[in-house]
Amino acid sequence: MPPLHSVKVTVNGKQYERQTEARTLLSDFLRHELGLTGTHVGCEHGVCGACTILFDGQPIRSCLTFAVQANGHAITTVEGLAKSQDELHPLQQAFWEAHGLQCGFCTSGILMTLVPFLEENPNPSEHEIREALSGNLCRCTGYQHIVDAVMLAAQKYATSKT
C-alpha cells in the first residue's frame, strides 16, 4: 500500500481532514472520500468540464488536480450553491425555469463555470456566454436552453439588484 498523505481542506465552508494516496484525483476525493457526488466525472483528461469546481474561488478541473494539492485550500462544489434545501441558487433556478438541462450530467460543471463568470460579467452577450461555455461539453441540449438560462439568470440578478 502506498503511503497516505493528510489532506485538510475546506469544502463548501466545512472543514474535512482525510488520509489519501497521492495519486487520488481531487474529483475522486470529493466523490468517494467526502461523498459529494454532485461533482461529475466525465472524460478525466480535462476536456469535458463535468468535474469543474471552484478552487479558492476560481473554476478549475478537479480531474486535473490531485487531492493532496487541495491541502489548505477552499473548495466549492455544486452542493455549495443552494442556500438551503428549499432555495436554489439563482442560476440553478434559471436552469430549472429555462429547461437548461436534460440528463443533467454536465450541469454541475456548467454551473460551477458560470457562477464566477456571471459575477465578473453580470450582463453578458450571447456570444460571451457561448464562449464561456466552450470548456463544458453538453451532449443533450444543443446549448440553446443553457444560453437561455444564463440570460434569464443575468436578468434575475439585475432585477434583484434594482
Does residue 29 bind another protein (CB under 8 A)?
no
Q: Draw the binding track, 106-125, toward another protein (x: CB under 8 A; -: no contact).
A: -------x---x--------
How many residues lie near another protein (CB under 8 A)? Answer: 30
Stretch that binds another protein, among 16-24, 76-84, 100-108, 145-153 (CB under 8 A): 16-24
Say whether 1 sits in a helix, a strand or coil: coil
Q: By CB under 8 A, is residue 17 in contact with another protein?
A: no
Residue 33 or residue 97: which is nearer to another protein going by CB? 33
Binds another protein by CB under 8 A, chosen from 68, 110, 129, 147: 68
Asked if 60 touches another protein (CB under 8 A), the answer is yes
Joined together, the cell numbers standing for residue 44 give 478525466
For residue 147, which of 77, 79, 81, 91 has the smallest C-alpha distance? 91
Q: Least distance from C-beta 46 to another protein, angstroms?
A: 5
- Phi and psi at residue 76, to the nearest 5°: -120, 130
Stretch that binds another protein, among 42-50, 81-89, 92-100, 146-154 (CB under 8 A): 42-50
- Phi first, then psi, for residue 69 (nearest 5°) are -75, -15
Residue 79: count other Cβ atoms within 10 Å of its Cβ. Answer: 17
The four Cα atoms 22, 54, 37, 45 give a dihedral, to 10 degrees, of -60
Kindly state the smallest distance separating residue 74's Cβ from another protein, in Å: 14
Residues 6+ apart with CB under 8 A from 57: 74, 76, 116
How many CA atoms are closer than 13 Å to the CA of 64, on its beta-carbon side?
Answer: 14
Q: Which residues bind another protein (CB under 8 A)?
A: 2, 5, 21-23, 25, 28, 44-46, 49, 52, 55, 58-61, 63-66, 68-69, 113, 117, 130-132, 134-135
